[in-house]
Chains A and B, each alone.
Chain A
Amino acid sequence: MTDSQKFDHLDKLENQSIFILREAYKKFKKLAMLWSIGKDSNVLLWLARKAFYGYCPIPLVHIDTSYKIPEMIEFRDRYAKEWNLNLIVGQNKQALADGMNFTQGRITCCTALKTTGLQQIMEQYDYKGLILGIRRDEESTRAKERYFSPRDKNFEWDFKDQPPELWDQFKTNFDENTHIRIHPLLHWTEVNVWEYIQREQIPVVSLYFSKNGKRYRSLGCAPCTATIDSQASSIPEIITELKATKTSERAGRAQDQEDTYAMQRLRAKGYM
C-alpha cells in the first residue's frame, strides 16, 4: 500500500481540522464550541474527540431559540450525557417573553434569538474564541471566510478588511473586547461531511433521512426550515443524491431567501 492510498481525501480534511482545533485549544483560554445539533457540528464534535484523544475539553454552547425541531433537543440531551459533554444552553429569554417569533420578520427573529442569544452567552462566560462548523460551500459570504476570523466588540464581521491568513499561521492575537470565530470545517463540502459521517459512523438526527418522500437537508428552527423531496433514507443514498443535486444546501432555510444579501447582512452583524 502506498502512502497516498493510505492518506485519502477524508484523512487530509480530518488532519487539517484537527490541526486547527489544537491551535484554538492552545491559544484561547476562554474557548467554546457552538453545537447546533446539525450534521456539521456533530462532525466537529467528533473531530474534537479525535484531536483530544476521546475527551472534549472545550465546552459546547447550544443556542436554543425554543423553536427547534423536538428531535434535535432529544438528540442533544442524549449525547451530552453519553459523551460526558460540558453543555451550556443559551436562550434569549427576554426576547421570547416579549413574544419574538418569525412573524416579526425572519431576519429580526434570527438576530434576536440566535445572534443576540449567542452574544449574551459570550458575554456571560467571557469567551474569546468560538468554534463553529460553517463551510465555504454553504453560501457565498462563507466562501470568503478565514479559518480564524475576528469579530469586533459589537460582534461585527468586517468582511471588507480581513486579516491575511497564510501557511496555517492564524490570527490568535487580538484586542480586548473582540473575539475570534474559528472555522475548522471551512474547507469541507457537504458531500465530504456525509462521507466522513459514513466512515466514522457518527450519530446524526434522524430528520436527515427520508420519511414518506421528504427529508431535511439542513436543520434549523421548525417554522423556517423546509424539507426537500427525497427518497434518500441512508447515508450512501444521501451521498448519491447530493452528488447529483443542482439545488443549494440552504434552499430550505427561509431566512436566507428574505432578500438578495440577507446572509451577508445577518453574518456582518454576528450571525453564525
Chain B
Amino acid sequence: MNTAPLRGEEIVAETNETLKFVMVGHVDHGKSTLVGRLLHETGFIPDTKVEHVKKVCDDQGKGFEFAFLLDGLEEERDQGITIDVAQMFFRTKKRNYVVIDAPGHKEFLKNMISGASNADVAFLLIDAEEGIQEQTKRHAYLLSLLGIRQIAVVMNKMDLVGYSEEVFNRTRDAYLEYLSTIGVKPYTFIPISAYHGDNVVKKSDKMPWYAGGSLLETLDAFESKDDRSKLPLRLPVQDVYKFDKRRIIAGRVEAGSVKVGDELVFLPSGKTTKVKSIEKWNAATPELVIAGESTGLTMEEQIFVERGDIACKKNEQQALVADRFTANIFWMGNKHLQKGGKYILKLATMDIECVIDSIPRVINSSTLEEISKNAAEVAKNEVAEIILTTKKPIAFDTFDLVPETGRFVIVHEHDVRGGGIIHKLVEHYSAI
C-alpha cells in the first residue's frame, strides 16, 4: 500500500466551488476501490477509519480493501459489492469535491440512478481485462438520459493486462463506437490501476505511451455546472405562506432570475401580476434572485396561485402548457409500466394523475436493441418512448430548453418507479 503523498490538511482549495462527480460502470470493475484509493491518497480518510477497515479486513483474512472505506454496510463487505450509493467529500488545490460511488450491479440500478442524477461529471469505469460489459453500456445510456454531458472513461486494472497500450486502444475504439450511437462524447480515456494507484493522483511511469493527465488532473479540468440564470425564468410555486400580514409565494428559481417590478405570468392559468417584494429573514432584501435560490415573493395583486404553477416572465420565452407530450423514460419498478395505466406524474412542484396513452418504442437500455414497437408495457431497466396525458393541462418545457422543468418522475404505489425527459408537446390526439 502506498503511503499518501499529500495530506488533506495541507490542501487549501483556491475557491469554495464544489463539483459533484459520480463513478459508474459494471459490477466488479473497481469503482469503490478507485474512490477509496482517491480519498486515501488525497488524505481525506481519517486515520481512525483506516484503522477500522484494517481491522475488518484482518477479521475477514483479506489484504487492505480500499473499497471498504466506502462500502460501510456489513452486507456490502461480506459480498464485496456496493449496494447503495455513498457520497464522500474531499478537496484539491482547485476546489471541493463530492464523489458519488454508485453500485454497478444491475439489481441496484435505481441506486445508481439516484446517485448519478445529482452529478455534474461522470467517470465511466471499464475493467481493462474484462472489457465492455452490460452495465458499461447501460450506464452510459442512462447518463445521457439524465442529461450528464461531462463524461470521462477510465480503464481500470491496467496492471492485469501488463499496462498494454494495445489493449487500451482496442477497448477504447470499441467503446467510442458504442458511445457515438447514443450521442455521448467522452472528454478523454484514462488508463489506471486503482489497486496500485497508477494514474489516479499522480502520473504513473508504467504507461509511458499515455500522454494525458492522471484521473485527478482530469477531474480538476472539468467545469462546474453551467449557469442556469441566463435561461428564461422558471419559478415553480412550492407553497403560499401567510404567517403574518404578508402573503408570500415560496419556491425555488429553477432557471433565469427575477427582480422587484418584473411582470410574471403564472402557468397554466396565465394570470399576471408584478413582483412587489422579495422576502428574506435575517438578511438584507436582495434586488435580484437567481437560479438555485429558494425564495419568496409578494405580488402587487392578490391573484390565486397554487403549488405546481410555474411563474415565467411576461417578456421572455414562456413554458409550454398542454395535457399531452412525448417523452423518453427509464423504468425502475418491479411491476411493468402499463399502456393505459394510471400513475402520478411529478414535474417540478406539480403532482398530477396521468395515463400512459401509448408506448411507441421499447429498447434494451444496454444493447440499444429495439424490443418492441407499439408495446403494451415497459419492464424494469428498459427504456421507452411514451406518450402520456395528464388529467389537466400543466406547464412544462422540453428537456433541451430547460432541463429542470423538462423532466419528471412517475410514482406508483407510493414510490418513484421511473424518470423521463420531455421531447415535445402533442397538439392533437391521434393514433401513433
Residues of A within 8 A of B (CB): 3-4, 6-12, 15-16, 18-19, 22-23, 25-26, 49-55, 57, 136-137, 139-141, 143-144, 146, 159-160, 162-167, 169, 171, 173-175, 187, 189, 200, 243-248, 251, 260-261, 264
Contact between B72 and A140, CB atoms less than 8 A apart? yes
A3 in contact with B227 given A49-B282, A52-B243, A53-B246 (CB within 8 Å) = yes
Residues from chain B with a CB closer than 8 A to the CB of A175 are: 414
Instruction: Give the docked Cα–Cα distance between A246 and B39 (Å).
Output: 12
Given A19-B238, A164-B110, A166-B114, is A171 in contact with B416 using a C-beta cutoff of 8 Å? yes
B282:A166 contact, CB within 8 angstroms:
no
Report chain A residues within 8 Å CB of B7.
Answer: 246
B252 touches A19 (CB 8 A): yes
- The complex places the Cα of A255 from the Cα of B304 at a distance, in Å, of 52
Task: Give B415 Cβ to nearest chain A Cβ, in Å.
Answer: 5
**Contact across chains for B243 and A55 when beta carbons are under 8 A apart:** yes
Question: Does the CB pair B346–A164 fall under 8 Å?
Answer: no
Give Cα A16–Cα B118 distance, bound, in whole angstroms.
12
Chain B CB count within 10 A is highest, among A51, A52, A163, A166, for A166
Known: A19-B252, A144-B73, A189-B89. A165 touches B16 (CB 8 A): no
Q: Return the chain A residue nearest B411 by Cβ.
A: A173
Q: Specify which chain B residues have a CB less than 8 angstroms from the CB of A146 in the assembled complex.
A: 114
What residue of chain A has the Cβ atom nearest to residue B230's Cβ?
A3
> Within 8 Å CB of A247, what residues of B?
46-48
Task: Output the nearest chain B residue to A189 by Cβ-Cβ distance.
Answer: B89
Chain B 31-57 interface mask (CB, 8 Å, partner A; 1/0): 000000000000100111100100110
Q: Closest approach, in angstroms, between the C-beta of A78 and any C-beta of chain B?
A: 19
CB–CB A245/B46 < 8 A = yes
Residues A163 and B416 in contact, CB atoms below 8 Å apart: yes
Contact B346 A245 (CB under 8 A): no
Instruction: Report the Cα distance A143→B73, complex, angstroms.
Output: 10
Pull 19 A–B residue pairs with CB atoms less than 8 Å apart, ordered by A: A4-B227, A9-B96, A12-B292, A15-B252, A22-B239, A52-B243, A143-B72, A160-B73, A166-B118, A166-B409, A171-B416, A173-B411, A173-B415, A187-B98, A244-B9, A246-B7, A246-B9, A246-B43, A251-B46
Of A53, A246, A261, the residue contacting B279 (CB under 8 A) is A53
Chain B residues positioned under 8 Å from A3 (CB to CB): 227, 229, 290
Residues of B within 8 A of A23 (CB): 238
Residue of B nearest to A178 (CB): B414
Name the residue on A nearest B50 (C-beta). A246
- Within the complex, the shortest CB–CB distance from B23 to chain A, in Å, comes to 14
- Distance A143 CA – B87 CA, assembled complex (angstroms): 6
Inter-chain CA distance A50–B283, complex, in Å, is: 9
> B281 to A54, Cβ gap below 8 A?
yes
A26/B87 in contact, CB under 8 A: no
Please report B residues at the A interface, Cβ cutoff 8 Å.
7-9, 16-18, 43, 46-49, 52, 55-56, 59, 70-75, 83-89, 96, 98, 110-111, 113-114, 117-118, 146, 227, 229, 238-239, 241, 243-244, 246, 248, 250, 252, 279-282, 290, 292-294, 296, 307, 332, 344, 346, 404, 407-409, 411, 414-417, 419
How far is A55 from B282 in the complex, measured between Cα atoms in Å? Answer: 12
The residue on B at minimum CB distance from A144 is B84
Contact A163 B415, beta carbon cutoff 8 Å: yes
How far, in whole Å, are A141 and B282 apart by their CA atoms in the complex?
35
Which residue of the partner chain A has the closest CB to B410?
A: A169
Query: Are A53 and B16 in contact, with the CB atoms below 8 A?
Result: no
CB distance A200 to B414 under 8 Å? no
What separation, in Å, do the CA atoms of A144 and B247 have in the docked complex? 38
B74–A261 touching, CB < 8 Å: yes
Contact B290 A7 (CB under 8 A): yes
Most-contacted residue by chain B among A55, A167, A187, A246 (CB, 10 A): A167
Question: What is the CA–CA distance of A22 and B59 in the complex, to the nearest angstrom?
Answer: 46
Identify which of A9, A51, A141, A159 contacts B18 (C-beta below 8 A): A9
A140 with B70: CB separation less than 8 A: yes
Q: Nearest 7 pairs between A and B by C-beta? A: A140-B72, A244-B9, A166-B117, A18-B294, A164-B110, A9-B16, A173-B414
Residues A140 and B86 in contact, CB atoms below 8 Å apart: yes
Cβ contact within 8 Å between A260 and B46? no
Q: A15-B252, A22-B239 are in contact. List 15 more A-B contacts (CB 8 A).
A: A9-B16, A15-B292, A19-B294, A49-B281, A52-B241, A53-B246, A57-B243, A139-B72, A140-B73, A144-B84, A159-B73, A166-B146, A167-B117, A171-B416, A243-B9
Q: Which residue of A lies closest to B147 (CB)?
A: A167
With A3-B229, A144-B84, A164-B113 in contact, do A246 and B238 touch (Cβ < 8 Å)?
no
Known: A49-B282, A50-B281, A162-B84. Is A7-B114 also a contact (CB below 8 A)?
no
Alpha-carbon distance A15/B381, docked complex (angstroms) = 33
How far, in whole Å, are A143 and B8 apart by their CA atoms in the complex?
A: 19
State A46–B408 Cα separation when bound (angstroms): 31
CA gap between A5 and B124 in the complex, in Å: 32
Contact B415 A137 (CB under 8 A): no
Q: Which chain B residues border A26 with CB–CB below 8 Å?
A: 238-239, 307
Question: Of B48, B83, B344, which contacts A251 at CB under 8 A?
Answer: B48
Could you say which of B75, B113, B117, B294 has the most chain A C-beta atoms within 10 Å of its C-beta? Answer: B294
Give every chain B residue within 8 A of A243 (Cβ-Cβ).
Answer: 9
B296 touches A53 (CB 8 A): yes
Task: Kindly state the separation between the CA atoms of A6 and B289 in the bound complex, as whole angstroms.
Answer: 10
CA distance A10 to B292 in the complex (A): 12
Whole-angstrom distance from the CB of A147 to the nearest CB of chain B? 10
**Minimum distance in angstroms from B88 CB to a CB of chain A:** 6
Query: Which residues of the other chain, A, contact B86 by a CB distance below 8 angstroms?
Result: 136, 140, 143-144
The residues of B that contact A162 with a CB separation of less than 8 Å are 84, 111, 114
